[in-house]
Amino acid sequence: MPVIALLRPLARAIDWLPVAVAAALTLLLAVVVSPGADLEAGHGLLLLRMAGVLLGAAAAFALVDGMEVSTGAVPVPRWVRQWARTIMAGTAVGVAWAATYAVVALRVPPGSPSLAGAAVEAALCVLVGLAGAAPAVRRNHARPAGLAGAVVVLVLYVVTQRAGAWPVPTSAEWDTVHAWWLATMPLPLLVLAVAHRDVR
């Protein structure tokens, strides 16, 4: 199938450097913060949230296709190529975030509140980063187009932080806030669907 044949060259064409740097940084911090001692749950949550924001910003660069002008003639349509990039990038940053979570979970003291809800936050950050970059790469095929996604993720963090949408696990709003985060996930997916449609 043309799609399968495209996956290998597409994986090579993706700029994985931002994802690799963000993944290495978050994992390193999860290991070196408070070395030789238990990691406070609050610090662990902060690390997981930082990982979600950084990886969401980094994933945006995977959508930049510097060869789109020449690949427009291939039998695989643009929407397939861009969704393939989206899925590959999302999978890579998802694995990186899960590895960071595993390190944090091993280091927090027994009996600490569960930090699993941070996965919802990270997933939305990644979707928002990808959705922020997707419209930009339709008009600009250069690497700076990926910055649009990074900026959108940072704006999301600042705005929602001020709105109190990043509660601690012991807060009464923890479950409610994460239910709202889940409810908003279709919005960046809709943006991706519109932005990934064929140009021609």
User: Helix, strand, coil: what percent of the chain each, to 5?
Assistant: 75, 0, 25
Share of the chain above pLDDT 90, in %: 64
pLDDT on residue 138: 84
In a domain, 95, yes or no: yes
C-beta separation of 110 from 95 below 8 A: no
pTM of the model: 0.90
CA atoms within 13 A on the CB side of 112: 19
For the segment 160-186, what is each residue's pLDDT rounded down to a tens digit?
A: 999 889 999 989 999 999 999 999 999
Report how many domains make up the chain.
1
List the domain range (segments joined by +) for residue 152: 2-195
In a domain, 136, yes or no: yes
For the segment 42-72, what is each residue's pLDDT rounded down to a tens digit?
A: 999 999 999 999 999 999 999 997 665 444 4
The stretches of 36-77 forming alpha helices (DSSP H) are 41-59, 68-71
In a domain, 200, yes or no: no
